[in-house]
Amino acid sequence: MNRKLRILCLHGLAQNATVFKKKTTSIHKKLNKVADVVFVTGPHLSVHPDHTSEALREVAVDPTAPEEAKPFGWWIYTDDQPPDDDRLIGFEESINSVKDVLLKQGPFDGVFGFSQGASFASMLTAMMENRSLRPDLISSDFAHPPFRFMMVAASFIPPQPSATKLFALKIKTPSLHMIGERDVLVTPDEMEALAAGFENPHFVRHPQGHVVPSNAASRNEIVAFVSKFCFDACSSPGGE
């Protein structure tokens, strides 16, 4: 039986699935004819003062606050990590959390991430493609195929060696990289450096900052990229 594409969506640092879904409404509405999108929340509360406001930190520790109001992330930033510790703290827990989603809500054709979620999506894509990178996390017998494509906005390679080694070999999974010319949090150079880790990366360059682009031209480019992987049953998304 034919079906639409299925895309796993990973939010940025100090966001959650609900926030990311709202921020990308114009894109997933545009993709609706060709793909179903599934938004998931990272397992770690984000409370580092460099990345969250005092108000968000208060919400994070408030047991009465709803989950959709709390800030989450895919790994943890801390000031007391020893300099010789090359880990992304909490990365393994996040991979296991996403693996559970892949098995229970998949199969997924692609993955889409923003900022920290984009970096996480890039590393996940690498490990799904090459099961020898971290066989302790994603082994050859993990019952979900590699992604057919990946899309990222404001992505970067974390400096920790445990992360950089995942990009030592070119990643063959088709990729789309959204680069904001005015992004000062993740610079275009950082995004380009990550894109260089992929074979034949595709680009959407937009005049905005640290956001998923919302202008019509970018949306049309995103839909055109996704549509290349569409099954026969997908309807034509049309242009704007």
State the pLDDT at residue 83: 67
- CATH number for the domain that contains residue 92: 3.40.50.1820
- Among the ranges given (1-5, 104-108, 224-228), the one the predictor scored with the smallest mean pLDDT: 1-5
Domain count of the chain? 1
Separation of alpha carbons 25 and 41, rounded Å? 17
**Does 232 map to a domain?**
no
pTM: 0.91
Please say whether the beta carbons of 118 and 178 come within 8 A.
no
Q: Which long-range contacts (CB under 8 A, 24 or more apart) does 204-208 make?
A: 204/176, 204/177, 204/178, 204/179, 205/179, 205/181, 206/178, 206/179, 206/180, 206/181, 207/180, 207/181, 207/182, 208/180, 208/181, 208/182, 208/183
**Does 89 map to a domain?**
yes
State the pLDDT at residue 63: 80
Domain span including residue 160: 5-227
Q: What is the mean pLDDT of residues 181-200?
A: 96
Separation of alpha carbons 112 and 36, rounded Å? 12
pLDDT one-digit tens code per residue, 37-47: 999 999 988 77
pLDDT one-digit tens code per residue, 24-37: 999 989 999 899 99
**Does 193 map to a domain?**
yes
Look at residue 239 and tell me whether its pLDDT is greater than 60: no
Separation of alpha carbons 10 and 60, rounded Å? 19
**Does 221 map to a domain?**
yes
Look at residue 237 and tell me whether its pLDDT is greater than 80: no
State the pLDDT at residue 201: 97
The residue that leads in pLDDT, 85 or 202, is: 202
Residue ranges with strand state E in 46-168: 72-73, 110-114, 149-153
- Write down the residue that tokens 């959390």 correspond to: 97
**Does 200 map to a domain?**
yes
Band (pLDDT 50/70/90 cuts) for residue 205 is: very high
Look at residue 183 and tell me whether its pLDDT is greater than 70: yes
**Does 236 map to a domain?**
no
State the pLDDT at residue 54: 66
Q: Which of 188, 109, 104 is nearest to 146 (CA)?
A: 109
State the pLDDT at residue 229: 94
Q: In this structure, what are the phi and psi dihedrals at residue 44, rounded to the nearest 5 degrees?
A: -110, 130
State the pLDDT at residue 168: 94
State the pLDDT at residue 48: 67
Amino acid at 35: A
Over the chain, what is the mean pLDDT? 89
Q: Which helix (H) or strand (E) holds 40?
A: strand 35-40
**Does 206 map to a domain?**
yes
State the pLDDT at residue 98: 98
Q: Which of 39, 47, 40, 55 is nearest to 14 (CA)?
A: 47
**Does 99 map to a domain?**
yes
CA distance between the termini of the chain: 30
Coil, helix or strand at residue 198:
strand
Separation of alpha carbons 103 and 98, rounded Å? 9
pLDDT one-digit tens code per residue, 116-159: 999 999 999 999 999 999 999 999 999 999 999 999 999 999 99
